[in-house]
Structure 1
């Protein structure tokens, strides 16, 4: 199963009967879906149903045992720099530098992916403001609360110009007000054309998404 013509141009993420097994354990049952440009998909299901496994496959951190997954028209895990540039993910732990401030790290990531330009730096500071991190930019990661650190990790992902954004429980450690603010930011990212694939247990984020993919136990 594959898409062609105009549909293929708009399709950003496509899985066809993709499954993951580890020895005799099924981590992800056969899963099929296709996400288009500008769509926000919420992946839901009980713990152990394969949500994180699916996201790790889409982010190129794992491979399907059977079936296929393609992101931006290429098999998952492509090492091509131009392909990796378009995929931003918060799935596994994002490394942070203990001896650099939030401002320095956010600016470095922005420059790495968008060029060392005033516009990239301005976009990074603007994003920090949207995530309510402006007053924390000159702090170090160890000086943050768990919720503030989660927002900082989100900033490192969202400052990238990725067409596809993959998020595993972005609501971790956030209170309801910050979750609502994050939902607004992600919704705006979709309006700008990004495709978001997100696993979540939070009703605010799930209800804001355009589509839902419900997974069952393997």
Structure 2
């Protein structure tokens, strides 16, 4: 079923930042959320992960509505933020332990998956290190491992390629593809449009808190045939038009 956002309006204090957004991310699908800085991407994500309360509208994951059952909703979701959020007093092993407890995972199965992920991202020799002291890229890898050790039905990934080396980016894309095949829904915000073009099934273009376009690249190319053929060409033309409205 995946993620369903219906007529979502929200923001900070009493000021709406996003207005009447409606979109979905189906199971087995990778959808990219694209927009300029300040367009409303982060506000949208903060509502989807439950950090902000909508002014109006609804958000559901696999039929579970956020406002009706917050705990059950959040156990269906894993989030990888742009800036890693880690506990300075916990080792990598302890971060994984906390994640497993929070998601009520079977520890034998979860640790088997964790060791595979740790090897993939070259962190298997750092279990007793403190990730808060790692480099930005390594801290990002810790967040990726903690997210993908779960059985989440929805992954929300915010600018995941920032700070990652090329090998880690390739590992992450392989991991996303694997989870898609297993039926997970994945919403990803990114400015790396050439990568998004290759891997994403659909695109949500947001400007000034409104969704300007939602659909696959082929339909976008047909609709905006006079702007260019690549996602970058189309998006830049639409962004410039939006700034002049």
TM-score of the alignment, normalized to the shorter chain, above 0.5: yes
Tell me by how many angstroms 1:197 deviates. Answer: 0.8
Aligned residues: CA RMSD: 2.3
Q: Aligned pair in 2 of structure 1 residues 166, 111: CA closer, same or farther (>3 Å)?
A: same
**84, 87, 110: which is aligned to 2:100?**
110
The answer as to 2:199 corresponding to 1:212 is no
Instruction: Give the counterpart of 2:191 among 198, 201, 206.
Output: 201
The alpha-carbon deviation at position 38 of structure 1 amounts to: 0.7
Structure of larger gyration radius: 2
List gaps (5 residues or longer) in structure 1: 1-10
1:83 corresponds to which of 73, 78, 90: 73
Q: Structure 1 212/97 Cα, relative in aligned 2: closer, same or farther at 3 Å?
A: same
- Of 82-91 and 183-192, deviating more is 82-91
Separation in structure 2 between the aligned mates of residue 213 and residue 189 of structure 1, nearest angstrom? 21
Whether 2:202 is the aligned partner of 1:181: answer no
Residue equivalent to 1:139: 129
Once residues 183 and 14 of structure 1 are traced to their aligned partners in structure 2, the CA distance between those partners, rounded to angstroms, is 23
Question: Distance in 1 between the 2:110 and 2:146 partners?
Answer: 13
**How far apart are the structure 2 equivalents of 1:99 and 1:209?**
37
The aligned counterpart of 2:47 is 57
By relative contact order (CA 8 Å, sep 6+), the higher-ranking structure is 1
| Consecutive unaligned residues in structure 2, runs of 5 or more | 210-245
- Using the size of structure 2 for normalisation, the TM-score is 0.75
Report the Cα distance in structure 2 between the residues aligned to 1:77 and 1:136, rounded to whole angstroms. 39
Rounded Cα–Cα distance in structure 2 between residues aligned with 1:129 and 1:166 = 23
Q: Structure 2 CA distance, aligned partners of 1:120 and 1:105?
A: 13
| 1:161 matches 2:172 | no
- Deviations 1:161-217 (Å, cap 9, x if unpaired)? 111111111222113332222111111111111001111112354121211111012
Aligned length: 208
| Correspondence for 2:138 | 148
CA distance in 2, matches of 1:21, 1:113: 28
